[in-house]
Chains A and B, each alone.
Chain A
Amino acid sequence: MKNFIKSILLFISFSIVVYLLLIIFWGNYIPGEYKKNLNYEIGSNGHMYSRLQNIKDVNNVDILFLGSSHAYRGFDPRIFNRYGLNTFNLGSSAQTPTQTEILLKRYLDEINPKLIIYEVYPATFLSDGVESSLDIIANDRNDFESIRMALTQNHIKVYNTLIYGFYRDIFRTNINYKEEIVKGDDTYIEGGFVEKKLQYFEPTEFDEEAWYIKDQQLKAFEKALLLIKKRNIPCILVQAPITQAKYRSFSNNGEFDDIIEKYGAYYNFNELIELNDELHFYNSHHLNQNGVEIFNTKLIEMLFVKKESTNAQ
């Protein structure tokens, strides 16, 4: 029996080493279609790599934006600049509260914003967060928080990609990587924004569905808010507009609003501004640049009104 236990422990150690080596080999030499559970894409969709490189030059901003693609495609720093506001957009693809928490731990003190605008798209609360984790692993440095994120996610693709990510970090294989500013229809704008070439949404119908919130994401959301609160940074929760066709297909928008309102100042722009599905969106849930202009201007107006009323008090 002792021999058996000894052999098992030895085999497990041996196997771990072989597994790590095979992940490195697979990641480096095997074509993508054979990497079902390894998805390391540096410079993937959403210009996360450029955004994180950009962060090095950013501190003491007026506003920091957080959230999913609705954030990095929805808050344009150039519009805020016109009103004298210096901003940075830390949104990332399908960013769920789990990843928001990690990004805040890594960068909040560095950026040191005066205000945080946190975009809360309901879909990110029901997502498992795998897509966003892979995005962060491939485009950011990996550390103990990445391991914690992988354990929370407990997903084989995240584990494999993280192993490969650590290898790339340790051997500094990304050091010469340069991400293109323009990729297809997307252009990276200094300050974390990604501008989509002007396109228009072709209306379609959506089946009725309902939002639901994963406990795991709600807990991470609370932790992220706590990190912000501890630093006495005011935070505004915002739901960026999506097409009315899509928005109205969800039967429980009110319920979601009720939950989020409990966590602080919250504005659901689907209820606050009137946009045209065909003119102001490029797909069912992303604003085009015309829509961004209207949304951001309205948000800035509200911020100034809020500031004035605070000052008056």
Chain B
Amino acid sequence: MLFNSIDFAVFLPTVFILYWFAANKNLKFQNLLIVAASYLFYGWWDWRFLILILLSTIVDYSIGLGLSKEKNKSKRKTLIFISILLNLGFLGFFKYYNFFQNNLIAAFTSLGIELNPRSLNIILPVGISFYTFQNLSYTIDVYKEKLEPTTDFIAFSAFVCFFPQLVAGPIERATNLLPQFHTKREFDYSKAVDGLRQILWGLFKKMVIADNCAEYANLIFNNSADYSGSVLLLGALFFAFQIYGDFSGYSDIAIGTARLFGFDLMRNFAFPYFSRDIAEFWRRWHISLSSWFRDYLYIPLGGNKGDTWMKIRNIFIIFIVSGFWHGANWTFIIWGALNAIYFLPLLLLNRNRKNLVIVAQGKYFPTIKEIFDIGVTFSLTVLAWIFFRAENVSHAISILVEIFSKSLFTMPYFEGWDNASAIKILIPLFIFIEWSGRENQYAIERLGLNWPRPVRWAFYSFIIFSIGMFMQTTETPFIYFQF
């Protein structure tokens, strides 16, 4: 079930009413309803995926209980090893089997050896990368004794399959989300209203900004051989706004939906395109994944401790693994490596924690230097997105070669450019609103709160109208669902 579908527009109010009117008497009912609704939500794609998520829930719940009872260090190690092996095993099989098989065949073929292995038609279960990592955070935290294992199977199931963030995050930490399933939720008016506001802004980002940018990004990337460097650069810019609008829009809808049910999910985006360096960008982009890798991979590897080579090794590992997490394609690996290259100088010069607060805090405008830094960071990011979006590595390279040619200095023109008037206005308007609200959790969190109610409501209604006027007429899935 997509957040931007009629199905979800019926599903959400129905579950909301049942949750607060029928199941509000006791915690067990609340959690049970969340599990039932989440299974319905997830099974809407393909009921067979439910078996996998149920299996994953049972395994990690049991391992959590096992870890709580077991004091023997080596047995505890075995248990956590089993959890990691099973979780990553599921993920590896469903997501990476074909990738490894194809690369193995290619490697052997280059050596003159023909391989004819059985090919499997594996369907990637939606959201597997997200809930696998969330489950791992639970067993690892229990293993490290940062968290008491839960004995409430329903609460744990609800933690694993909580529908707002099940398919594309934010990847929650058990330490943050699980305790919320152990406490009865009480309805909070302002929290619910804030949730709705965040959902509205998320829908605008997805349906107006991302989907309209996607139209042009797809056109340009899918016919890249026909276009000049300037048009290809424009395509990369469209993709930059598409992926930001799409994924941060999804996260806003997820966080807002969770707030309607009384939950606080972690923040996933913090205006990343206003970052002044790549380190800041990675503190603001897909925060739940970046911090997951930081806590469960980077720090255990030694983090920024040790000699220079160790630091370089760790940075490359975390970025390449992060790239590979996105998909079984060399393009994602190169995207990750490229970001590692961007990041390294900052780390080695000890300047990676220079920009910790949002740019131009308390001011209307940034300084010239800040504008320059934001511009450089954004440009680097856009170039890296080319690998993320391209079909394969040679496609990405051909685009980059054209961008860094004389044709970059031609006037960009492609079929449909003259009809792109709306997006030419919508993107600057979107940047303006994001800039105005950059000190908040999301752009319109506090926008208009001091205005008279009719004016504020008219503003929200205008956002709804913009969605109705500019949305794509076919349902478009979120990009991160494929991961």
Which A residues lie at the B interface, using CB under 8 A?
A: 1, 3-4, 7-8, 11, 14-15, 18-19, 22-23, 26, 31, 33-38, 130, 154-157, 159-160
Asked if A34 meets B421 with Cβ closer than 8 Å, knowing A18-B458, A19-B461, A22-B462, the reply is yes
Contact, CB under 8 Å: A36 / B470 = yes
Partner of B468 from A1, A8, A31, A160 at Cβ < 8 Å: A160
- Which residues of the partner chain B approach A130 to less than 8 Å between Cβ atoms? 473
Query: A14 touching B187 by the CB < 8 A rule?
Result: no
Would you list 24 pairs from A and B whose C-beta atoms are within 8 A, ordered by A residue?
A4-B192, A7-B193, A11-B457, A14-B454, A14-B461, A15-B460, A15-B464, A18-B457, A19-B461, A19-B468, A22-B461, A22-B462, A31-B421, A33-B422, A34-B422, A36-B469, A36-B470, A37-B468, A37-B469, A154-B6, A155-B473, A156-B468, A156-B471, A156-B473
User: Whose C-beta in chain B lies nearest to the C-beta of A14?
Assistant: B457
Give the residues in chain A near B473, CB-CB below 8 Å.
37, 130, 155-157
Identity of the chain B residue whose Cβ is nearest the Cβ of A130 in the assembled complex: B473
- Neighbouring B residues of A15 by C-beta, 8 Å: 457, 460-461, 464
Given contacts A36-B470, A37-B468, 4 further A-B contacts (CB under 8 A): A1-B20, A18-B458, A18-B465, A22-B465
A157 CB to nearest chain B CB (Å): 6
Task: Identify the 8 closest CB pairs spanning chains A and B, nearest first.
Answer: A18-B461, A33-B421, A15-B461, A22-B465, A1-B187, A36-B470, A37-B469, A14-B457
Residues of B within 8 A of A8 (CB): 196
Does chain A have a CB within 8 A of B189? yes
Give complex CA distance A291, B386 in Å: 51
Total A-B residue contacts, Cβ distance less than 8 Å: 60
Residues of chain A within 8 A of B470, CB atoms compared: 36-37
B405: shortest Cβ distance to chain A, in Å? 31
Once bound together, how far apart are the Cα atoms of A22 and B469, in whole Å? Answer: 10
Flag B171-213 by CB within 8 Å of A: 1 or 0 each.
Answer: 0000000000000000101001100100000000000000000
Q: Inside 8 A of A4's CB, which chain B residues have their CB?
A: 187, 189, 192-193
User: Please, how many angstroms separate the alpha-carbon atoms of A23 and B464 in the complex?
Assistant: 12
Q: Is A26 a contact of B469 with CB atoms below 8 Å?
A: yes
Please, how many residues of chain B have a CB less than 8 angstroms from a CB on the other chain? 24
A299–chain B nearest beta-carbon distance, Å: 37
Interface string of B337-367 (1 = CB under 8 A from A): 0000000000000000000000000000000
B74 at the interface (CB under 8 A from A): no
Give A95 Cβ to nearest chain B Cβ, in Å: 20
Provide the main secondary structure of the chain B interface: helix
Nearest to B6 among chain A residues (CB) is A154
Q: Closest residue to A25 on the B side, CB-wise?
A: B465
Given A3-B189, A18-B458, A22-B462, A160–B422 Cβ distance below 8 Å? no
Residues on A with C-beta less than 8 A from B6 are 154
**Nearest CB to that of B454 among chain A residues?**
A14
Docked pose: A4 CA to B261 CA in angstroms: 13
CB distance from B191 to the nearest CB of A (A): 10
User: Does B121 lie at the interface of the complex (its beta carbon under 8 Å from any beta carbon of A)?
Assistant: no
Give Cα A15–Cα B473 distance, bound, in whole angstroms.
Answer: 21
Minimum CB–CB distance from B200 to chain A (whole Å) comes to 10
Residues of A within 8 A of B468 (CB): 19, 37, 156, 159-160
Q: Which residues of A sit under 8 angstroms from B465, Cβ to Cβ? A: 18-19, 22-23
Interface pair A37/B471, CB less than 8 Å apart: yes
Residues on B with beta carbons closer than 8 Å to the beta carbon of A36: 422, 469-470
Question: Which residue on chain A has the smallest CB distance to residue B470?
Answer: A36
Q: Which residues of A contact B471 (CB under 8 A)?
A: 37, 156
Contacts of A14 in B (CB 8 A): 454, 457, 461
Bound-state CA distance A36–B192 (Å) is 32
Q: Which residues of B sit under 8 angstroms from A19, Cβ to Cβ?
A: 461, 464-465, 468
Check A33–B419 contact: CB distance below 8 A: yes
- Give the CA-CA distance A22 to B465 in the complex, in Å: 7
In the bound complex, residues from chain B placing their C-beta under 8 Å from that of A37 are 468-471, 473
Write out the residue numbers on chain A whose beta carbons fall within 8 Å of the beta carbon of B454. 14
Bound together, the chains give a CA A7 to CA B6 distance in angstroms of 22
For the complex formed, measure the closest distance between the CB of B419 and the CB atoms of chain A, giving whole angstroms.
Answer: 6
A177 CB to closest chain B CB (Å) equals 24
| Cβ contacts under 8 Å, A157 to chain B | 473
Contacts of A22 in B (CB 8 A): 461-462, 465
Chain A residues with CB under 8 Å of B111's CB are none
CA of A66 to CA of B473, assembled, Å = 28
* Residue on B nearest A128 in the bound complex, by CB: B473
* A11 to B419 alpha-carbon distance, docked (Å): 34
Q: Which of B20, B422, B460, B469 contacts A11 (CB 8 A)?
A: B460
Closest residue to A17 on the B side, CB-wise?
B461
Docked CA distance A110–B304 (Å): 84
Q: Given the complex, which residues of A lie within 8 Å of B10, measured CB to CB?
A: none
A23 to B465, CA, bound (A): 8
Q: Is the C-beta of B425 less than 8 angstroms from some C-beta in chain A?
A: yes
Residues of A within 8 A of B462 (CB): 18, 22
Give the docked Cα–Cα distance between A156 and B6 (Å): 12
Please encode chain B, from 446 to 465, with 1 for each CB lying within 8 Å of some chain A CB and 0 for all others. 00000000100110111011
Q: Which of B247-305 contact A (CB under 8 A)?
A: none
Q: How far, in Å, is A2 (CB) from chain B's closest CB? A: 10
CB-CB nearest in chain A for B423: A36
Closest chain-B Cβ to A172's Cβ sits at a distance in Å of 25
* Closest chain A residue, CB of each to CB of B260: A4
